[in-house]
């Protein structure tokens, strides 16, 4: 493996030789006593670090540092000076120098600072790689579809992503609301800052305020240290509140204040903390109805509904199903079962005719299941679950209820109960998965089960 290159720019031959002796075993050393020549070497060579003397006759090190920054803002530079001028060192640090060494320097100190600088550069390169991977994975180009509904979403995304506008994404569970939020973030000017995701339905109400706004040490029994909340963690980036409709009115009021004032107060604290976040919210509930019923604040609704994006359920995007199925086959096939190369036309037709109550998430799970279980190289209709390959089998419950001639309210209750029991059985009692399959949140499912007298995993009979 080739050694990493260090360039020494110093008008004192003794200083260059001292660095060479200290560092030659671990690095390839380039050197020059000319500032102009040093800039030419940086332009043509793959240099990882520069040891730059501050006091030179031709051009001082501060000016050289400025020229380096104009060409390459990522190159690591350590300043070297015979004077211990704090003012000069501070100026160099403001211009982006990693650190500085004072002559005469100690061998161990020089080695340590160079080693730390190289480690820092490696971490920054890794961070840049990860950012590039995230942008590629979650960019708008990763949203699959050709339907009219998804094309309209593309148009809105391209317009709203570069702005600071708050976005409200609506749609059934499994329609890809988080993917849309990620695409907005990674196409926005905030793409190099964090996107912090909060699954509102998964956080107990008693912990929600602490999760969002943080807390001070001693603010409650388990608060053994200060904790930063999601608003602070998302500072200068994006905060994505998924299932915002599940929040209590008290927390809604605090979110509204944080958005309007751009500042928060940690639980147990008195200090106001400024935050700069872009908010993206999502819900599978009808927030207009929730406002009318008094369970969601009207002022918060209008504050978050600046740019609405409505995601159509998969059953209304029939032309996208085959594209998505093949995308998931390629995405998961290499890891799970490389033998599977394609989906037959008959299987694609069956997938297209299915109603997909769990939307895109359900389709992805089905493709993963097929890849895990099949031994063929081509997906056939017999590889599909029964309710997909036999159209209408999923409607048996509705048909049986309708044939009984029950009053509408009783029929709806009976049908809901049958669907929930069937989903519980299908997911082996995993209520989180049951909720996903039914297209509701875990909290809504629990409420429905309680109101319908369904006791849980073992209740598989009416």
Where are the domains positioned within the chain? 5-131, 142-310, 314-389, 393-452
Q: pLDDT by residue (tens digit) across 124-178?
A: 877 676 666 666 666 676 788 999 999 999 999 999 999 999 999 999 988 999 9
Question: Residue 216 pLDDT > 80, yes or no?
Answer: yes
Predicted TM-score (pTM) of this structure: 0.65
Domain 5-131 sits in which CATH superfamily? Response regulator (3.40.50.2300)
Position 458 scores a pLDDT of 43
> Where on the phi/psi map is residue 176: left (φ > 0), alpha (ψ -120 to 50), or beta?
left
Position 23 scores a pLDDT of 92
Q: What is the CATH number of domain 393-452?
A: 1.10.10
Please return the burial class of 45, using the count of CB atoms within 10 Å of its CB with bins 0-12, 13-18 and 19+.
exposed
Question: Residue 29 pLDDT > 90, yes or no?
Answer: yes
**Cα gap 117→309, rounded to integer Å:** 45
* 142-310 matches 5-131 in CATH topology: yes
| Maximum average pLDDT range among 70-84, 347-361, 423-437 | 347-361
Q: Which two tokens stand for residue 258?
A: 């944080």
Q: pLDDT by residue (tens digit) across 257-310?
A: 999 999 999 999 989 999 999 999 999 999 999 999 999 999 999 999 999 999
Mean pLDDT score across all residues of the chain: 86
Q: Which helix H or strand E contains 425, and what residues bound it?
A: helix 408-426
Chain center to CA of 305: 21
Residue pair 265/275 in contact (Cβ under 8 Å)? The answer is: no
Architecture of domain 142-310: 3-Layer(aba) Sandwich (3.40)
Average pLDDT estimate for 437-450: 78
| Residues in Cβ contact with 314 at an 8 Å cutoff, skipping those fewer than 6 apart | 174, 175, 320, 321, 324, 356, 359, 360, 362, 363
Closest-CA residue to 92 (of 123, 115, 121, 60): 60
**Phi, psi for 459 (deg, rounded to 5):** -90, 85
Fold of the 314-389 domain: Helicase, Ruva Protein; domain 3 (1.10.8)
């Amino acid at each position: 493996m080739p050694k990493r290159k260090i360039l020494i720019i110093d008008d004192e031959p003794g200083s260059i030789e001292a660095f060479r002796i200290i560092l030659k075993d671990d690095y390839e050393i380039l050197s020059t006593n000319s500032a102009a020549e040093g800039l030419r070497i940086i332009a043509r060579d793959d240099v990882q670090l520069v040891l730059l003397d501050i006091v030179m006759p031709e051009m001082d090190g501060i000016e050289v540092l400025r020229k380096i920054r104009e060409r390459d803002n990522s190159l690591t530079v350590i300043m070297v000076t015979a004077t211990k001028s704090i003012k000069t060192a501070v100026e160099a640090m403001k211009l982006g120098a990693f650190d500085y060494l004072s002559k005469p320097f100690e061998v161990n100190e020089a080695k340590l600072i160079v080693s730390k600088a190289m480690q820092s550069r490696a971490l920054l390169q890794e961070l840049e790689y990860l950012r590039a991977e995230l942008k590629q994975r979650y960019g708008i180009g990763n949203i699959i579809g050709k339907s009219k509904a998804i094309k309209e979403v593309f148009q809105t995304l391209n317009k709203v992503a570069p702005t600071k506008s708050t976005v409200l994404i609506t749609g059934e569970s499994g329609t890809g609301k988080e993917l849309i939020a990620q695409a907005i973030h990674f196409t926005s000017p905030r793409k190099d800052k964090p996107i912090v995701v909060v699954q509102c339905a998964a956080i107990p109400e008693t912990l929600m305020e602490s999760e969002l706004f943080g807390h001070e040490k001693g603010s409650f029994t388990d608060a053994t240290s200060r904790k930063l909340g999601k608003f602070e963690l998302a500072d200068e980036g994006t905060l994505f509140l998924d299932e915002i409709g599940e929040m209590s009115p008290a927390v809604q009021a605090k979110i509204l204040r944080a958005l309007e004032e751009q500042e928060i107060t940690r639980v147990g604290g008195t200090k106001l903390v400024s935050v700069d976040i872009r908010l993206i919210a999502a819900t599978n509930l009808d927030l207009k109805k929730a406002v009318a019923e008094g369970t969601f604040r009207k002022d918060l609704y209008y504050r978050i509904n600046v740019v609405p994006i409505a995601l159509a359920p998969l059953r209304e995007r029939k032309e996208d199903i085959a594209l998505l199925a093949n995308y998931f086959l390629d995405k998961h096939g290499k890891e799970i079962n490389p033998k599977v190369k394609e989906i037959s036309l008959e299987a694609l037709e069956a997938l297209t005719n299915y109603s997909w109550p769990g939307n895109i998430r359900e389709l992805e799970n089905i493709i993963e299941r097929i890849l895990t279980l099949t031994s063929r190289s081509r997906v056939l209709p017999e590889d599909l679950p029964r309710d997909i390959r036999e159209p209408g089998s999923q409607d048996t419950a509705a048909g049986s209820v309708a044939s009984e001639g029950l009053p509408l309210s009783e029929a709806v209750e009976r049908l809901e109960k049958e669907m929930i029991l069937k989903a519980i059985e299908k997911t082996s009692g995993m209520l989180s998965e049951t909720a996903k399959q039914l297209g509701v949140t875990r909290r809504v499912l629990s409420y429905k089960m309680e109101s319908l007298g369904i006791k849980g995993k073992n209740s598989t009979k009416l």
